[in-house]
């Protein structure tokens, strides 16, 4: 529990001003609309520690790779989400003195993120150094309906007698990325204009040449009797992703002007309704546990803010629009963690867009594999990407954490299992699966010594092991991919022979040579096992490690990734996140419950959960094997990861993709939801103190409300 | 063979000017005196492609680490040898036009490095754009006797009628390192002064605060009748390593003034004599093979230029004073490759200085190990160092290429075997060996699964494998270290009990606990083996790789490190440099000849020799097993690596440390020299076309000349 935040079922609330927590709060109170987002920076000047952040989905910059020791195959650039113009700015002067909470004395402070309605409100009373006391209320939102609009109202009242207030709204386009590799600026200036009631700036990214225009329409009204000044600011934000560059300013102006015409109160009402409508088919209600309730709604809220499925060029960055870290690019998180959430809350079409994102990038994945020495249409999807090109440069990850290819195949399977949309295979899926299967076929080695296929030099989901041989999870998902690719192609061949023919011709696929090769691998793959313990081995040689349990680790040594040198972590048996268990989660029907329980007990006790993606999968498996205390502990850890700042890094941004895992922990874990033969099934196991659990599920065109009681 | 260079037994000769080869020649014709060195840059202005380089041993700069993804345990800085003031500069104008071979037409060009006398001479005739034709002779050297002196004579004759010649000697201290991580300057300006006949500059390195002063005394004489101008430049170069900072300028001036007083011809004569004297006890003469002869003398010459054993703070950088690459720091190359050369050519004292360098850095090695989580006086020597601190930042090398610790122990053994100086153990060696043994003891893991000790997560000498388990070589040398450390300590205990007591007290050594633990490891260590082939396995799982021979590799794929992605190299069976074979070389007496031959044939056929340190060890083993064709091929490759530029990188500098390996290939390979029970033994096997081989060996105080005939 975070004693600093108020526990509330629908709101995130802060009731005092703590300069040391400004950056953390900026992350936690972020707002967005799937198209753009804004950290909860103060509107007025703030000279204390802050991380200004405003981001526009799909607008990125290829930052030149920084590396100590270059390895062949590294990409030249890391595509990064861009910190862009600070459009919320207001300079406030009272009797000539700047209002700045860093220099003023804050008498009273309240900030609220209304997750139900997508609104950020802040109220404070402050005494300036010149002794004038002011009361401020700032409310703002990024419109869910008008996706190119940001709107805010900033109201200031002088409490201590007469004072002259000057209020000057501004847009500051002179911004930098904190994570720039070489401290360069990523934007070029294009144009600006200003009038007493408006300001506009157009900027263009260097190299990638995305243009963005911010057009702000201002309205200031004074009520001298109440000593109150109110500023309305309507900002149209348009980018060359959606407009001809020459029309950007006109389009942005139109958005702002239309908003002004409609008026702030109406826009606010629109926003409330739009969000209520969203919640009406994706809320999760937990009875008897406000912390758990707040946690899950925070996760859902952030996911809805980050991705709406309206644009196949966008995806879900690990930090969404809440920070720069990880470059805002796409990871396997999307396929392994986010797809189930969007499928069940936003519907088939939204999840389909996420799949198509990878389909559209298939040529780049083939190019990527070719660069690494593969051939014949083998596809390796990048570890991190913005536009399909690999961005990562750490050999043990970039070249070796190849299980990501499996997650991309699995997402297709998962989508079809859920939606029944088998035709997706013919339209897009089969080609992706074939490219992935071809990759595995070449990445695998025939070991003469063992008379088995082996997979050498990989990094599994557990990144606390690098360059291992025969990671069980990777071997397993590779074989699964080969089988599923073949089955999928056979289905297309049978049900859409014309389309099949076209695919075969396009890909130069040779059925009689490739299929038998795939099946030979499936049949003769080596899977490491510990016979005595009857568990799957994370990789060859795992049992050579000193076997210590996490509970026996000195807490002063945690987190390991901050306390231990990298080689020590690698040599240890400690696990960062689900690895063998990720496989048992994905493919649970392939294993009996005792096998799952045995492996869970062995591996969970060695897992330090130092990845945000770790606790959720463990929570689901714990619930499955009936270890409800463990499941609940892990659930709280995942759903309140950022609210309670377990990893001491929320100031950098939120862990968006793991939030989808938290949702899975509730729905698949506690409610036990599965899709079996085209039907939803449930096996509820609520934590003891939960009075009830209810939620909405969008399944095959129908939104159902599910209710479970203790 | 390099058709560009003239084959000559004592000289390196270039007979034409090729702008594309300027940088390569600058490396090849470098001069030095063990204290400082200078690339063969032109004295006069040159505006074409060039890599100016002037280096002073022990003067370094801690350049801030550049890394893509930080890992715990990385050092903050990489200490780098500094490119320092360009003291050879002469600006020459003829009729107001700058002499610059990049713009002039070169009519005639000759450059010669006289290895016998340590002199660099260049002569050329050039027509300037203004049509004036000049003839130049430049001769320079870095004095072997007066280690703070550089001297040069620059003589210009106008060939085409009258012309006005202006000649302006200068020192340019405005220099940068090409390999600066953040493009920063490493030097601060301190002071300068000038008179018509002198110039002086004092600079100080940022952060590390080394001061250096260059003081040049000039003398210009004209012979108008011969239309000849001659410049003599005597440059004193003093550093705060050897002088009080306040005295630097005075000291440098004294060196220059004294040199001027003595005069150029006398200095030249001194230099000739000093070098002749050196050669008198380290020359290697090969009859009937000028290429081989030139190759080996080039190697010896460079080694003599790089290190003289006069200063225990200095060591042998992989590029010596010929380039910036590798930071000019110390690697395990010194112990594994250079010690035998200096032992046999320069004598016990010089090799002892190299050993003491590591002894002096023992506290830093203990600190380094502590930083990585080891304790109780365990020492891990750095992969790369200037002052004892680790400089490298690549986890698979920095933290895992720990066999370097073994080489440092082996050098002590090797030194004592050669010199009989057992007392070195009591004075210094035992402490180093104990720190190393303690490291191995902690770095090894008891595998319950195997009931054997294992060593997880290492990189062997073959850096084309990373993070492997049970690298045979590392396991072997680790056990050897444990045994040798114990034996050495027992010897000290017995023969110098007082000293032993002092060591035990200083190191808190617990005989009754530590020795048995060491011996337990020695007894129960796991060594991977291939039973069918009866070979030692490079590491666990090596035989799972696809087994291809180098001879079957497509030449278009070579060198692999330029053509293949890193993961592909790691997955392949191809070997960069001797690994198992390095162990068989070090510990040949532990194995019968058939075992050596079997392993040699297996591994050599999979080795691509993409490290400069590779061919020499293979040449020695090939000679040992009687494969003389292979031995000769590999010898040429090692001894003429730079002259013939096998690796296409000589422009960056020379491979100094591998030159010691070339010497070993002749002496230990073809002459079969060994030390057995305090005696030198020989087993000569000369390549067929060598008429004779003779060389000098300094052994236990006596310099012997050895002669072998076909």
Residues of B (444-463) whose Cβ lies below 8 Å from A: 445-450, 454, 456-457
Q: Which residues of A touch B68 (CB under 8 A)?
A: 65-68, 393-394
Q: How far, in Å, CA of B112 to CA of B123, rounded?
A: 9
Kindly determine whether residue A68 and residue B72, on different chains, have CB atoms separated by under 8 Å. Answer: no
Which pLDDT band holds residue A710 (cuts at 50, 70, 90)?
A: confident
Question: What is the per-residue pLDDT for A2?
Answer: 63
Give the residue from chain A lying closest to B458, CA to CA. A567
Residue (of A233, A200, A201, A230) closest to A218 by Cα position: A233
The verdict on A66 touching B (C-beta cutoff 8 Å) is yes
C-alpha to C-alpha distances, B384 to B315, B316, B319, B381, B392, nearest whole angstrom? 11, 11, 13, 9, 6
DSSP A493-511: HHH-HHHHHHHHHHHT--H
The verdict on A442 touching B (C-beta cutoff 8 Å) is no
Q: Are A159 and A125 in contact (CB under 8 A)?
A: yes
Question: What is the per-residue pLDDT for A1?
Answer: 55
Measured torsion, CA atoms of residues A281, A282, A287, A288, in degrees rounded to the nearest 10 = -150
Smallest CA–CA distance, residue B70 to chain A, in Å, is: 10
Kindly determine whether residue A544 and residue B450, on different chains, have CB atoms separated by under 8 Å. Answer: yes
Burial A647-659 (b: 16+ CB within 10 A, else e): bebbbbbbbbbbb
| pLDDT tens profile B531-548 | 999 999 999 999 999 999
Residue (of A611, A562, A621) closest to A586 by Cα position: A621
A 10 A CB-CB count for B418 gives 20
| pLDDT tens profile A406-421 | 999 999 999 999 999 9
ipTM comes to 0.92
Question: What is the per-residue pLDDT for A595?
Answer: 98
Give the residue from chain B lying closest to A452, CA to CA. B544
Average pLDDT of the segment spanning B304-329:
88
Give A138's strand partners.
A122, A154
Per the structure block, which two tokens stand in for B60? Answer: 């370094």
SS3 sequence, B329-376? CECCHHHHHHHHHHHHHCCHHHHHHHHHHHHHCHHHHHHHHHHCCCCC
Packing angle between helix A290-306 and helix A656-664, nearest 10 degrees?
A: 130
Using the predicted structure, report yes or no on whether residue A206 has a pLDDT greater than 80: yes
Kindly determine whether residue A66 and residue B68, on different chains, have CB atoms separated by under 8 Å. Answer: yes
Please tell me the least confidently modeled range out of A50-64, A206-220, B69-83, B527-541. Answer: B69-83
Give A446's strand partners.
A453
Average pLDDT of the segment spanning B31-43:
97
Question: What is the per-residue pLDDT for A329?
Answer: 82
Kindly determine whether residue A466 and residue B467, on different chains, have CB atoms separated by under 8 Å. Answer: yes
Q: Are A522 and A479 in contact (CB under 8 A)?
A: yes
A 10 A CB-CB count for A449 gives 16
Using the predicted structure, report yes or no on whether residue B569 has a pLDDT greater than 60: yes
Q: Are B316 and B304 in contact (CB under 8 A)?
A: no
A 10 A CB-CB count for B9 gives 16
First to last CA, chain B: 24
Q: How far, in Å, CA of A128 to CA of B595, rounded?
A: 86
For B66, the closest of A66, A72, A447 (CB atoms) is: A66
| pLDDT tens profile B215-225 | 999 999 999 99
Question: What is the per-residue pLDDT for B310?
Answer: 85
| pLDDT tens profile A575-604 | 999 999 999 999 999 999 999 999 999 999
Give the residue from chain B lying closest to A73, CA to CA. B565
Using the predicted structure, report yes or no on whether residue B328 has a pLDDT greater than 80: no
Q: How far, in Å, CA of B473 to CA of B469, rounded?
A: 11
SS3 sequence, A605-625? CCECCCCCCHHHHHHHHHHHC
For B448, the closest of A68, A547, A570 (CB atoms) is: A547
Q: How far, in Å, CA of A246 to CA of A267, rounded?
A: 28
| pLDDT tens profile A90-129 | 999 999 999 999 999 999 999 999 999 999 999 999 999 9
Give B215's strand partners.
B200, B236
Question: What is the per-residue pLDDT for A646?
Answer: 84
Q: Which residues of A touch B547 (CB under 8 A)?
A: 448
Average pLDDT of the segment spanning A634-645:
92
| pLDDT tens profile A446-491 | 999 999 999 999 999 999 999 999 999 999 999 999 999 999 999 9
Q: Are B1 and B7 in contact (CB under 8 A)?
A: yes
Average pLDDT of the segment spanning B193-204:
97
Place of tokens 């799937």: A34
Question: What is the per-residue pLDDT for A310?
Answer: 85
Question: What is the per-residue pLDDT for B4?
Answer: 81
| pLDDT tens profile A281-296 | 999 999 999 999 999 9
Q: Are A142 and A150 in contact (CB under 8 A)?
A: yes
Question: What is the per-residue pLDDT for B1?
Answer: 55
* Residues in contact with A334: Cβ distance below 8 Å, sequence separation at least 6, in sequence order: A315, A316, A354, A357, A411, A657
Question: What is the per-residue pLDDT for B2?
Answer: 64
* Residues in contact with B72: Cβ distance below 8 Å, sequence separation at least 6, in sequence order: A561, A562, A563, A564, A565, A566, A569
Using the predicted structure, report yes or no on whether residue A647 has a pLDDT greater than 90: no
Find which of A327, A571, A573, A576 to mutate to test the B interface (most B CBs within 10 Å of its CB): A571
For A72, the closest of B372, B544, B564 (CB atoms) is: B564
| pLDDT tens profile A649-678 | 899 999 999 999 999 999 999 999 999 999
Which pLDDT band holds residue B309 (cuts at 50, 70, 90)?
A: confident
Kindly determine whether residue A564 and residue B72, on different chains, have CB atoms separated by under 8 Å. Answer: yes
Give the residue from chain A lying closest to B562, CA to CA. A72
Which pLDDT band holds residue A632 (cuts at 50, 70, 90)?
A: very high
Question: What is the per-residue pLDDT for A250?
Answer: 97
Which pLDDT band holds residue B572 (cuts at 50, 70, 90)?
A: very high
Residues of B (551-590) whose Cβ lies below 8 Å from A: 561-571
Looking at chain A, the whole-number percentage of residues with pLDDT higher than 70 is: 100
Question: What is the per-residue pLDDT for A311?
Answer: 85
Question: What is the per-residue pLDDT for B250?
Answer: 97
Alpha-helical (H) ranges within A425-565 are 430-443, 472-495, 497-507, 511-524, 560-563
Catalytic residue ranges of B: 463
A463, A465, A610, A652: the active-site residue: A463
Average pLDDT, chain A: 96
Question: What is the per-residue pLDDT for B646?
Answer: 84
Which pLDDT band holds residue B326 (cuts at 50, 70, 90)?
A: confident
Average pLDDT, chain B: 96
For A566, the closest of B73, B448, B569 (CB atoms) is: B73
Question: What is the per-residue pLDDT for A186?
Answer: 93
Phi-psi region of A671 (alpha: psi -120 to 50; beta: other; left: phi over 0): alpha
SS3 sequence, B498-513? HHHHHHHHHHCCCHHH
Q: How far, in Å, CA of B580 to CA of B530, rounded?
A: 13
Question: What is the per-residue pLDDT for B179?
Answer: 86
Question: What is the per-residue pLDDT for B141?
Answer: 98
Average pLDDT of the segment spanning A388-396:
94
| pLDDT tens profile B423-458 | 999 999 999 999 999 999 999 999 999 999 999 999
* E strand or H helix that includes residue B250: helix B248-262
Question: What is the per-residue pLDDT for B182?
Answer: 84
> Phi and psi (nearest 5°) for A396?
-70, -15
Find which of B444, B537, B571 to mutate to test the A interface (most A CBs within 10 Å of its CB): B571
Strands A97-98 and A105-114: unpaired
The verdict on A213 touching B (C-beta cutoff 8 Å) is no
Kindly determine whether residue B73 and residue A562, on different chains, have CB atoms separated by under 8 Å. Answer: no
Kindly determine whether residue A457 and residue B395, on different chains, have CB atoms separated by under 8 Å. Answer: no
Please tell me the least confidently modeled range out of A57-61, B227-231, B312-316. Answer: B312-316
The predicted model scores a pTM of 0.94
Contacts across the A-B interface (CB distance below 8 Å): 129
The verdict on B373 touching A (C-beta cutoff 8 Å) is yes
| pLDDT tens profile B262-294 | 999 999 999 999 999 999 999 999 999 999 999
Q: How far, in Å, CA of A512 to CA of A515, rounded?
A: 6
Question: What is the per-residue pLDDT for B647?
Answer: 79
Handedness of CA A401, A402, A406, A411 (dihedral sign): positive
Question: What is the per-residue pLDDT for B710?
Answer: 87
Question: What is the per-residue pLDDT for B695?
Answer: 98
Which pLDDT band holds residue B81 (cuts at 50, 70, 90)?
A: confident
């Amino acid at each position: 529990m975070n004693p600093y935040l108020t526990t509330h079922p629908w709101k995130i609330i802060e009731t005092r001003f703590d300069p040391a927590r400004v950056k953390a709060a900026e992350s936690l109170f972020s707002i967005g609309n799937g198209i753009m987002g804004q950290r909860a920076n103060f509107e007025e000047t703030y000279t204390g520690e802050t991380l200004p952040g405003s981001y526009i989905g799909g607008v990125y910059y290829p930052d030149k790779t920084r590396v100590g020791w270059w390895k062949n195959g590294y990409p030249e650039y890391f595509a990064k989400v861009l910190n862009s113009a600070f459009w919320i700015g207001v300079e406030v002067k009272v009797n000539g003195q700047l209002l700045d909470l860093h220099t003023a004395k804050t008498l009273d402070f309240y900030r609220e993120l209304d997750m139900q309605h997508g609104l950020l409100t802040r109220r404070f009373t402050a005494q300036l150094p010149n002794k004038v006391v002011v009361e401020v209320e700032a409310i703002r939102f990024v419109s869910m309906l008008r996706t190119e609009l940001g709107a805010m109202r900033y109201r200031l009242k002088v409490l201590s007698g007469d004072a002259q207030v000057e209020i000057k709204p501004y847009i500051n386009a002179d911004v930098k990325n904190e994570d720039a590799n070489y401290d360069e600026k990523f934007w070029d200036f294009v144009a600006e204009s200003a009038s007493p009631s408006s300001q506009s700036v157009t900027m263009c990214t260097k190299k990638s040449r995305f243009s963005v225009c911010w057009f702000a329409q201002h309205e200031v009204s004074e009520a001298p009797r109440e000593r109150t000044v109110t500023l309305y600011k309507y900002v149209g934000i348009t980018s060359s992703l959606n407009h001809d560059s020459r029309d950007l300013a006109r389009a942005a102006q139109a958005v702002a002007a239309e908003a002004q015409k409609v008026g702030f109160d109406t826009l606010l009402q629109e926003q409330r309704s739009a969000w209520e409508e969203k919640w009406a088919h994706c809320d999760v209600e937990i009875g008897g546990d406000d912390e758990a309730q707040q946690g899950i709604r925070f996760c859902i809220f952030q996911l809805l803010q980050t991705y709406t499925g309206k644009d196949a060029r966008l995806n879900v960055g690990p930090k969404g629009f809440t920070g720069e870290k990880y470059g805002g690019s796409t990871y396997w998180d999307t396929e392994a963690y986010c797809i189930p959430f969007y499928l069940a809350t936003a519907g088939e079409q939204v999840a389909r867009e996420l799949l198509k994102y990878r389909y559209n990038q298939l040529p780049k994945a083939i190019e990527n594999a070719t660069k690494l020495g593969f051939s014949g249409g083998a596809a390796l999807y990048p570890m991190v990407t913005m536009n399909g090109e690999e961005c990562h440069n750490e050999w043990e990850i970039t070249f070796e954490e190849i299980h990501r290819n499996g997650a991309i195949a699995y997402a297709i399977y998962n989508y079809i299992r859920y939606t029944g949309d088998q035709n997706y295979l013919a339209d897009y899926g089969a080609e992706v699966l074939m490219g992935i299967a071809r990759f595995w076929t070449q990445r695998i080695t025939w070991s003469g010594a063992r008379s088995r296929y082996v997979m050498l030099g990989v990094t599994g989901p557990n990144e606390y092991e690098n360059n291992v041989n025969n990671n069980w999870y990777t071997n397993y998902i590779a074989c699964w991919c080969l089988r599923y690719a073949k089955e999928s192609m056979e289905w297309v061949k049978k049900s859409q022979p014309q389309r099949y023919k076209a695919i075969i011709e396009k890909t130069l696929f040779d059925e009689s040579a490739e299929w038998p090769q795939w099946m030979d691998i499936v049949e003769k793959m080596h899977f490491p096992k510990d016979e005595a313990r009857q568990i799957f081995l994370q990789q060859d040689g795992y049992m050579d490690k000193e076997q210590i349990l996490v509970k026996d680790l000195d807490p002063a040594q945690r987190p390991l990734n901050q306390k231990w040198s990298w080689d020590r972590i690698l040599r240890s048996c400690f696990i960062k996140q689900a690895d063998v268990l990720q496989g048992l989660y994905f493919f649970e029907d392939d294993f009996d419950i005792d096998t799952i329980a045995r492996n869970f007990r062995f591996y969970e006790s060695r897992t330090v959960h130092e990845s945000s993606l770790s606790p959720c999968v463990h929570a689901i498996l714990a619930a499955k094997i009936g270890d409800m205390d463990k499941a609940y502990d892990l659930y709280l850890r995942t759903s309140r990861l950022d609210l309670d700042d377990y990893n001491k890094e929320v100031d950098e941004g939120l862990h968006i993709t793991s939030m989808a895992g938290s949702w899975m922990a509730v729905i698949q874990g506690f409610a036990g939801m599965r899709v079996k033969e085209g039907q939803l099934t449930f096996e509820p196991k609520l934590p003891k103190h939960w009075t009830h659990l209810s939620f909405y599920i969008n399944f095959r065109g129908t939104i159902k409300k599910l209710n479970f009681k203790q």
